[in-house]
Amino acid sequence: MLAHDFPDDLKPFLAPTPGGDMGYDCLVCGARHAPDRLLYTCPSCGGLLMLTDHNIDRLRDKPGSFWRRLFDHRLMLNLPALRGVFTFHEFLAPNIPLSDVIYLGEGHTPVVKAPSVLANMVGANFYVKMEGQNPSASFKDRGMAAALSMLNHLVRKQNLDQVIAVCASTGDTSAAAALYASSLGQAVKSAVLLPKGKVTPQQLSQPLGAGATVFELPGVFDDSMKVVERLSEKYRVALLNSKNPWRVLGQESYAYEVAQSFDYSLLDKVLIVPVGNAGNITAILSGLLKFHRASVIDGLPKIVAVQSKRANPVFLYYRQPLGDRYYAPVAVKPSVAQAAMIGDPVSFPRLAELSALYEREAGLSSFYVVEVDETAIMEGMLQANRHGLTVCTQGGECLAGLKAALGEGLITPSETAILDSTAHALKFVDFQNAYFEGRLGSEYGVATNPELANRPRQVELGQAPIPEPGKAMAPEDREAFVSAAAKAIAESLGLAEKA
């Protein structure tokens, strides 16, 4: 739609200009630092940082209905910078000019209603937001779009060149970082650190394909993360891990889109989210609180965070009595929800702060953490994908979490759940295949249900001639092959012959 066809009262606001009063807030000493450079820890005390807008109250000068109409109309505007996560520019990173925004097709992922057969099996109606349909096939593109737009802004404003962007990853962060960095050409080069053998071959192929420098390190993600932290302390690099608070801002867009998909009515909804490094859950809570405070949504939804029993520090923290909780990292064991296999989540201090704020505004029964086992995760993924969905193991973890929350009575079947399928099924397809072939080693502790397994069938051709590569088949041989194969397949499927 052309700009002049929009309603007159919205026209001046369609393409936002930079605004707000962004700055880094230290979660430990409370210092505030200017946003004109990239910071990952507090220069005064080393604490974890969050980005806040000290002029956020300006968003309340307009009624919630104004923002709802503006964001809905923006979906019809053909302005690439506003087509992705920056649809919500005023709430997200209002300091970044639209001319510096990088848009590679991220965001606005579909929300798909689970077919009723599947809903009946689970015992509640639910939707799945298909985050695997982002450009690098996971939600990490949301945060990377914000972080690389900010980096692009700084590179241009400060004439930087030869910036080296680094991250450690359980697979998807590096895929997204490499993709977005590669769109900036010469100015930014990316280097990624991966725990060897702990990312899937598909995830490894992504940064390689995007031209990043890929380092494989022994150990698990937490070990690679420590090395990246050392690199960012001692050397001039741009850090793209979720310590980078711009990523958290980008990931808030998930919450804004969920609100938009349900006409900004979230009171009777439950958001189910898998938790690894706790960046995503932090961003979702933060986004919901911003939308609520500006009256864009009618109320705050319930949140159910999910962890595998094999990587559950966040679960263990929240299961202790309120007021007497103690955080301790855990040593992770192999989990099929490998992208969330993190024992010492970097964003934990942010989550602790935001979940307390969330419970203060939404009530004490608004934020839960459940844990699920590996068998339930695999069965959740396989069941979902047999019913029209394409969820990854972490999406399976969400489905298992929905069942667990229903079982524990944390939510009731009358509530509507929205599951975060954080990546595409194809990234984690090796876990599916290993399950089907009965070789999902005992290290994962998965009990296989033969009813969920699926294997290709070989077609019994007897003495029939067989096509060979590079050789033409005689017509009678082809006829014999086709007829033998069709007969064998019809038998296998139990097909009735036409009268």
Ligand X SMILES: *Cc1c(COP(=O)(O)O)cnc(C)c1O
Site residues, ligand X (CB under 6 A): 138, 140, 172, 274-281, 339-340, 392, 394, 422-423
Q: Which does 276 bind (CB under 5 to 8 A by kind): ligand X, Zn ion, none?
A: ligand X
- The number of beta carbons lying within 10 Å of the beta carbon of residue 323 is 5
Minimum gap (Å) between residue 60 Cβ and ligand X: 29
If the CB atoms of residues 155 and 351 are measured against ligand X, the closer one turns out to be 351
Rounded Cα distance, 314 and 34, in Å: 31
Rounded Cα distance, 414 and 366, in Å: 16
Minimum gap (Å) between residue 240 Cβ and ligand X: 13
Compute φ and ψ for 176, nearest 5 degrees: -70, -45
If the CB atoms of residues 297 and 392 are measured against ligand X, the closer one turns out to be 392
When binding is defined by CB under 5 A, the residue of 3, 44, 230, 447 that contacts Zn ion is 44
Number of residues that bind Zn ion (CB under 5 A): 8
**Which tokens go with 178?**
């490499």
If the CB atoms of residues 142 and 243 are measured against Zn ion, the closer one turns out to be 243
Q: Which does 140 bind (CB under 5 to 8 A by kind): ligand X, Zn ion, none?
A: ligand X
Residue with tokens 């009965």: 438
- From 36, 45, 32, 149, select the one nearest 100 (Cα to Cα): 149
Tell me the three state secondary structure of residue 211.
Answer: coil
Minimum gap (Å) between residue 210 Cβ and Zn ion: 34
Minimum gap (Å) between residue 372 Cβ and ligand X: 14
Rounded Cα distance, 488 and 129, in Å: 41
Judge whether 378 and 435 are in contact, CB under 8 Å.
Answer: yes
When binding is defined by CB under 5 A, the residue of 23, 24, 25, 26 that contacts Zn ion is 26
When binding is defined by CB under 5 A, the residue of 15, 28, 187, 208 that contacts Zn ion is 28
If the CB atoms of residues 277 and 383 are measured against ligand X, the closer one turns out to be 277
Q: What residue type is assigned to position 218 of the chain?
A: P
- From 422, 484, 410, select the one nearest 172 (Cα to Cα): 422
If the CB atoms of residues 24 and 315 are measured against Zn ion, the closer one turns out to be 24
Stretch of 23-31, 130-138, 251-259, 378-386 contacting Zn ion, by CB under 5 A? 23-31
- The number of beta carbons lying within 10 Å of the beta carbon of residue 79 is 15
Q: Which does 280 bind (CB under 5 to 8 A by kind): ligand X, Zn ion, none?
A: ligand X
Minimum gap (Å) between residue 58 Cβ and ligand X: 29
- From 354, 342, 351, 383, select the one nearest 168 (Cα to Cα): 342
Rounded Cα distance, 32 and 51, in Å: 9
Contact between 353 and Zn ion per CB under 5 A: no
Query: Are β-strands 111-113 and 126-130 bridged in parallel, bridged antiparallel, or unpaired?
Result: antiparallel
If the CB atoms of residues 375 and 422 are measured against ligand X, the closer one turns out to be 422
Maximal CA-CA distance, the chain: 84
If the CB atoms of residues 273 and 300 are measured against ligand X, the closer one turns out to be 273
Residues 293-332 that bind Zn ion (CB under 5 A): none
Rounded Cα distance, 192 and 175, in Å: 9
When binding is defined by CB under 5 A, the residue of 22, 38, 42, 369 that contacts Zn ion is 42
Q: Which does 29 bind (CB under 5 to 8 A by kind): ligand X, Zn ion, none?
A: Zn ion
If the CB atoms of residues 276 and 349 are measured against ligand X, the closer one turns out to be 276
Q: Which does 47 bind (CB under 5 to 8 A by kind): ligand X, Zn ion, none?
A: Zn ion
3 state SS for 214-280: EEEECCCHHHHHHHHHHHHHHCCCEECCCCCHHHHHHHCHHHHHHHHHCCCCCCCEEEEEECCCCHH
Q: Which does 3 bind (CB under 5 to 8 A by kind): ligand X, Zn ion, none?
A: none
Rounded Cα distance, 110 and 42, in Å: 37
Minimum gap (Å) between residue 436 Cβ and Zn ion: 50
If the CB atoms of residues 278 and 480 are measured against ligand X, the closer one turns out to be 278
Stretch of 30-38, 127-135, 297-305, 405-413 contacting Zn ion, by CB under 5 A? 30-38
- From 316, 229, 238, 243, select the one nearest 279 (Cα to Cα): 243
What is the H or E stretch that residue 117 is in?
helix 116-122
Contact between 33 and Zn ion per CB under 5 A: no
Contact between 445 and Zn ion per CB under 5 A: no
Q: Which does 392 bind (CB under 5 to 8 A by kind): Zn ion, ligand X, none?
A: ligand X
Minimum gap (Å) between residue 280 Cβ and ligand X: 3
Q: Which does 489 bind (CB under 5 to 8 A by kind): Zn ion, ligand X, none?
A: none
Q: Which does 274 bind (CB under 5 to 8 A by kind): ligand X, Zn ion, none?
A: ligand X
Q: What residue type is assigned to position 450 of the chain?
A: P
Residue positions counted in the chain: 499
DSSP conformational letter for 124: S
When binding is defined by CB under 5 A, the residue of 1, 29, 453, 482 that contacts Zn ion is 29
Outline where DSSP puts E strands in 93-187: 111-113, 126-130, 163-168
Q: Which does 44 bind (CB under 5 to 8 A by kind): Zn ion, ligand X, none?
A: Zn ion
Minimum gap (Å) between residue 131 Cβ and ligand X: 7
If the CB atoms of residues 52 and 138 are measured against ligand X, the closer one turns out to be 138
Q: Which does 255 bind (CB under 5 to 8 A by kind): Zn ion, ligand X, none?
A: none
Region of residue 269 (phi > 0: left; psi between -120 and 50: alpha; otherwise: beta): beta
Give the residues lining the site for Zn ion (CB under 5 A). Answer: 26, 28-29, 31, 42, 44-45, 47
